[in-house]
C-alpha cells in the first residue's frame, strides 16, 4: 500500500467570498465599483470581513463613458494624473463611504452567521 506524502492535521475554519457592487457618483465621476468581500471565521469564533477592490465598471467622466477595458482605464488615469487628479482614489473613497453608511458588510456578516456556514 502506498504511503501518503502528507497529512491533514485539521481543517480550521470557513471562508466565504461575496462580491458587492457599489454605485458612486461625484461631481465629475461616476462608476460601479466592484469589491470582493472575504468573510471568515476568526480565531475566537467570531466573523470578520476583508474587503478588496476588484474593478471599476461603467466609468463616466463629466457624463461621457471612459470605456470598460484595461487600456482605456489606464489611459484615463494617466491623463487625469497629469493634472494631479487620481480617479482611483476619488472613486474608492466615495465607494468606501457608501459601504460604511449602508452597513452592507455587517449585513453580509449577519447573513453568513444566520446561515450556519460559519
**Residue 5's pLDDT is what?**
67
- Convert the pLDDT of each residue in 32-58 to its tens digit: 999 999 999 888 888 899 999 999 999
C-alpha cell at 37: 468581500
Does residue 22 have a pLDDT over 90? yes
CA distance 87 to 85: 6
For the cut 70, the answer to whether the pLDDT of residue 109 exceeds it is: yes
1 pLDDT more than 60:
no
Among the listed residues 34, 85, 97, the one whose alpha carbon sits nearest the alpha carbon of residue 61: 85
The three three-digit cell numbers of residue 113, written as one number: 452567521
pLDDT value of position 98: 93
Amino acid at each position: 500500500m502506498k504511503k501518503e506524502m502528507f497529512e491533514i492535521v485539521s481543517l480550521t475554519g470557513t471562508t466565504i467570498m461575496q462580491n458587492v457592487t457599489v454605485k458612486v457618483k461625484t461631481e465629475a465621476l461616476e462608476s460601479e465599483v466592484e469589491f470582493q468581500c472575504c468573510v471568515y471565521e476568526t480565531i475566537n469564533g467570531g466573523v470578520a470581513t476583508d474587503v478588496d477592490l476588484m474593478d471599476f465598471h461603467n466609468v463616466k467622466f463629466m457624463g461621457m463613458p471612459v470605456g470598460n477595458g484595461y487600456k482605456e482605464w489606464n489611459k484615463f488615469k494617466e491623463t487625469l494624473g497629469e493634472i494631479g487628479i487620481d480617479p482611483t482614489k476619488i472613486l474608492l473613497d466615495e465607494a468606501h463611504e457608501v459601504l460604511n453608511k449602508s452597513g452592507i458588510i455587517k449585513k453580509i456578516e449577519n447573513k453568513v452567521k444566520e446561515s450556519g456556514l460559519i
